[in-house]
Amino acid sequence: MNTNYPRDMMATKAIHTTGDISRDIPDICIIGSEDGENYIGNWVYGFGFANVKFPKATTRELTFEEIEKYHGMPIAMGSTLTFINLTDEKVGRPVRLVKKEDGRTATGNLISPLKKGGVVYVVDPATFKTYKTSAVQSINGNEIKTLNSTYTIEYL
């Protein structure tokens, strides 16, 4: 089994505990794990069903053309607008962000690339609660410094 998750793929067939939520044409999905016969994840666009089973027989990697098409497209998660990032392998991964000054933590999925001048967004996929830092001043390994705080990011 592949352990390189999360990752974006294309699928048509999709089974949820509520029933068949397949698509007529291939559509983008994000995969978080797999079992023997299925990838497990969710459609990027739609109602937000979690733990959807995408049969491996009808699910494939994105083509170069699809990466160009989807990269940078907007998606809404609750009231948070973000963009599909198919070039930063860390975006979408589960993380824990720990504020060094007071030990507060934010656990969820990283939805923004880590870069100087950017803002780090972490969203809890169960509640859609969003945590964001101020603008990043520097990144050194797993340490992120902003104007007012220092954070440690742990990849889960």
Structure tokens given for 26: 């291939």
Distance CA 34, CA 32 (A): 7
Distance CA 114, CA 74 (A): 18
Residue 86 covered by a domain: no
Distance CA 99, CA 139 (A): 14
* DSSP code for 56: G
Element (H or E) spanning 121, and its range? strand 121-123
- pTM here? 0.55
How many domains is the chain partitioned into structurally? Answer: 2
What CA–CA distances, in Å, run from 151 to 74, 76, 78, 100? 27, 26, 25, 6
Residue 23 covered by a domain: yes
Specify whether 60 is located in the same domain as 113.
no
Residue 79 covered by a domain: no
Residue 76 covered by a domain: no
The tens-digit pLDDT sequence of the chain (156 residues) is 555 677 889 999 999 999 999 999 999 999 999 999 999 999 988 888 899 999 999 999 888 778 778 877 877 767 777 777 776 667 777 889 999 999 999 998 887 777 777 788 888 877 878 899 988 898 887 899 998 999 999 888
